[in-house]
Chain A
Amino acid sequence: KNQVEQSPQSLIILEGKNCTLQCNYTVSPFSNLRWYKQDTGRGPVSLTIMTFSENTKSNGRYTATLDADTKQSSLHITASQLSDSASYICVVSEWGSGTYKYIFGTGTRLKVLA
């Protein structure tokens, strides 16, 4: 069964600290992996997208890594800010029968404290 698991479920850090969120998946055939940031009461916003051949992608203070062999991805947030408080969702796409299917992780809720 295609699954995407994220850890930790929730995380509290102090402003200015770094943190790393994890995403493990069993999706096959793999097409791409995306990280989204979702503020409370808002739709998700894309942070990074990586295909099979890419093992790292940065977007400002956000850096995502992908290990397609172990089927793991991580999202590293550097020098966290209060505005980073949100849910971070890992989404893995599979391609089959001429269409994409998107498998959502359950998300990691990050709280950044002053």
Chain B
Amino acid sequence: GAVVSQHPSWVICKSGTSVKIECRSLDFQATTMFWYRQFPKQSLMLMATSNEGSKATYEQGVEKDKFLINHASLTLSTLTVTSAHPEDSSFYICSAGTVPRYEQYFGPGTRLTVT
């Protein structure tokens, strides 16, 4: 149980285009979903936290207009990287959690490369 999927697993896009990444909790309802990015040999950096049906809370320094997060249901959250630039190339990981159990389950990640 507690499986989280991400789609796509990797994507290459041209600079200036937008890319959408999906995060799904397959066998449980996630009240909260988290989006992280990870650069090579570094730990995960939290970008934003989203609760179903409400606006996402972004970490300091993360542009909310560039990284659009939608948590439309208890099993699906999406991250859209708008007007992507090469510096947005990174490994994006989502996790899903349930309150008050405080556990979070990570997806397998999405490798984004912007050319």
Pairing of A with B: yes
- Asked if A42 contacts B109 (CB within 8 A), the reply is yes
Chain B contact residues, majority secondary structure: strand
Q: Given the known inter-chain contacts A41-B111, A104-B44, A107-B43, please indicate yes or no for A46 contacting B102, CB distance below 8 A.
A: no
Residues of A within 8 A of B108 (CB): 42-43
> How far is B42's CA from A106's CA once the two chains are assembled, in angstroms?
6
Q: Shortest CB–CB separation between residue B57 and chain A, in angstroms?
A: 9
- Asked if A44 contacts B102 (CB within 8 A), the reply is no
**Interface size bucket, B side?**
20 to 34
Chain A contact residues, majority secondary structure: strand
**Interface size bucket, A side?**
20 to 34
- Asked if A43 contacts B43 (CB within 8 A), the reply is no
Using a CB–CB cutoff of 8 Å, the interface residues on chain B facing chain A are: 4, 6, 34, 41-46, 49, 91, 93, 95, 97, 99, 102-109, 111
A-B CB proximity, top 7 nearest: A43-B106, A43-B109, A43-B108, A106-B43, A44-B106, A104-B43, A43-B93
* Interface pairs (29), CB distance under 8 Å: A31-B102, A32-B102, A36-B106, A42-B108, A43-B4, A43-B6, A43-B95, A43-B106, A43-B108, A43-B109, A44-B44, A44-B93, A46-B103, A46-B105, A89-B44, A93-B102, A95-B102, A100-B97, A100-B99, A100-B102, A102-B34, A102-B46, A102-B104, A104-B44, A104-B45, A104-B46, A105-B43, A107-B43, A109-B41
